[in-house]
């Protein structure tokens, strides 16, 4: 793939972490996209170190050394995660029909780009498919028989989508409060326990308690029973679990330890074009039960250690 220049536009979302941004930039450099869209948020007014950090991070983009059109949407004020990413993607999809999207802490295996390029074309007109993701929370799933599967659970750690999907996006989630809409979402998830668990962050996002753009996209997928194409092996390493992260601050989080693999080509499609319910359930158990319990245990352990001092 490194000898082939990527035709699909790449969107790179950056902020204030030059170390992780450089790692993702090097992965992008390997495939030399012809178009690179960069979305950057500005420093927060109460963080005196952030202007310098943001400026240093942005200099990395100036190191593009291949034939490439670089488009920059840099905010000089801090818009926050939800507004910055959503407005930036509005800007991107006003210009292109489809794109691969990476944040500053999501380092992809090189096969991720080819995976996206092939399947963006394959499912371009398929209204059932809303997104592709490079992240597989289980590390591996049925890789001996297929290259990917369909899921009702969207994942934003390295992903791709089309204008036809993004133009349905609603940052305010205005439909979420309607009882019939919640029943539609419940029917798509098809498991009351999972629905109740997923409804909590959706409620919090709607209420403005979570500064997110991704839960709104997850809701969009559920609302339309849209599929997210998920690779049979994990293709993304999230290297941003530290105190400098906006959301993923726990370095011991199990999600930071998922093994990264490589896809083989040509891709082998699943036999059935339907959501893999067993994958969704196992993903739910790992991410929202096991991982959550581990985080709670670590917090209790930390509090207990403080109490002994």
pLDDT tens column, 68-116: 999 999 999 999 999 999 999 999 999 999 999 999 999 999 999 999 9
Rounded mean pLDDT of the chain? 91
The answer to whether residue 3 is domain-embedded is no
DSSP character at residue 41: P
Q: Where are the beta strands (DSSP E) in 50-127?
A: 69-74, 98-103, 106-108
The answer to whether residue 4 is domain-embedded is no
Each residue's pLDDT tens digit, 132-188: 999 999 999 999 999 999 999 999 999 999 999 999 999 999 999 999 999 999 999
The per-residue pLDDT for 244 is 53
C-alpha span between 213 and 196 (Å, rounded): 20
pLDDT-derived band at 2, boundaries 50, 70, 90? low
The per-residue pLDDT for 255 is 54
Structure tokens at 230: 């998920």
The per-residue pLDDT for 113 is 99
Structural domain including 46 reads: 10-300
Q: 236 phi and psi, to 5 degrees?
A: -130, 130
The answer to whether residue 42 is domain-embedded is yes
**Contact (CB, 8 A) for 262 and 43:** no
The answer to whether residue 306 is domain-embedded is no
The answer to whether residue 1 is domain-embedded is no
C-alpha span between 224 and 217 (Å, rounded): 11
The per-residue pLDDT for 246 is 52
Q: What is the distance, to the nearest Å, from the Cα of residue 95 to the centroid of all Cα atoms in its chain?
A: 21
- DSSP result, 107-119: EEPTHHHHHHHHH
How many other CB atoms are there within 10 angstroms of residue 225's CB atom?
A: 15
Task: Assess whether pLDDT exceeds 60 at residue 251.
Answer: no
**Contact (CB, 8 A) for 43 and 55:** no
Give one word for 142, left, alpha or beta, with left for phi > 0 and alpha for psi -120 to 50.
left
The per-residue pLDDT for 1 is 43
The per-residue pLDDT for 52 is 98
Strand partners, 102: 12
Strand partners, 128: none
pLDDT-derived band at 295, boundaries 50, 70, 90? very low
**Contact (CB, 8 A) for 17 and 53:** yes
- Residue 25 CA: distances (Å) to CA of 20, 139, 201: 9, 23, 31
Each residue's pLDDT tens digit, 190-234: 999 999 999 999 999 999 999 999 999 999 999 999 999 999 999
pTM of the model: 0.91
HSE-CB of 274 using CA atoms within 13 angstroms: 6
Task: Assess whether pLDDT exceeds 50 at residue 248.
Answer: no
Q: What is the distance, to the nearest Å, from the Cα of residue 272 to the centroid of all Cα atoms in its chain?
A: 25
The per-residue pLDDT for 24 is 99
The per-residue pLDDT for 289 is 77
Each residue's pLDDT tens digit, 11-67: 999 999 999 999 999 999 999 999 999 999 999 999 999 999 999 999 999 999 999
The answer to whether residue 224 is domain-embedded is yes
End-to-end C-alpha distance for the chain, whole angstroms: 54
The answer to whether residue 307 is domain-embedded is no
Structure tokens at 274: 């339907």
HSE-CB of 165 using CA atoms within 13 angstroms: 31
Going by C-beta distance under 8 Å and a sequence separation of 6 or more, which residues neighbour residue 164?
Answer: 97, 127
How many other CB atoms are there within 10 angstroms of residue 295's CB atom?
A: 15
- 166: domain CATH number is 3.90.550.10
Question: Domain tally for the chain?
Answer: 1
The answer to whether residue 213 is domain-embedded is yes
The per-residue pLDDT for 257 is 81
Q: Is the bond preceding 46 in cis, omega lying within 30 degrees of 0?
A: no
């Amino acid at each position: 793939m490194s000898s082939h220049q990527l035709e699909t536009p790449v969107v790179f979302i950056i902020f204030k972490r030059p170390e992780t941004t450089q790692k993702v930039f090097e992965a992008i450099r390997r495939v030399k996209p012809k178009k690179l869209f960069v979305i950057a948020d500005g420093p927060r007014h109460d963080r005196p170190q952030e202007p310098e950090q943001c400026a240093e991070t942005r200099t990395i983009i100036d190191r593009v050394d291949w034939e490439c059109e670089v488009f920059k949407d840099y905010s000089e004020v801090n818009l926050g995660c939800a507004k910055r990413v959503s407005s930036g993607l509005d800007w991107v999809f006003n210009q292109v029909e489809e794109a691969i999207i990476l944040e500053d802490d999501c380092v992809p295996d090189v096969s991720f780009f080819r995976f996206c390029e092939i399947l963006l074309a394959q499912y371009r007109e398929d209204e059932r498919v809303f997104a592709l993701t490079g992240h597989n929370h289980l590390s591996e799933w049925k890789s001996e028989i297929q290259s990917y599967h369909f899921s009702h659970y969207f994942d934003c750690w390295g992903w791709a989508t089309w204008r036809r999907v993004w133009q349905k996006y609603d940052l305010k989630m205005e439909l979420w409060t309607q009882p019939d809409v919640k029943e539609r979402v419940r029917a798509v998830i098809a498991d009351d326990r999972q629905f109740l668990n997923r409804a909590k962050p959706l409620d919090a996002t709607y209420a403005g308690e979570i500064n997110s753009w991704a839960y709104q996209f997850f809701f969009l997928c559920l609302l339309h029973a849209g599929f997210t194409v998920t690779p049979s092996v994990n293709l993304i390493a999230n290297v941003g679990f530290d105190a400098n992260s906006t959301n993923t601050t726990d370095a011991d989080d199990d999600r930071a330890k998922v093994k990264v693999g490589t896809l083989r080509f040509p891709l082998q499609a699943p036999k059935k074009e339907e959501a893999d319910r067993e994958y969704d359930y196992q993903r739910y158990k790992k991410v929202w039960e096991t991982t959550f319990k581990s985080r709670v245990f670590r917090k209790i352990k930390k509090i207990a250690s403080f109490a002994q001092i």
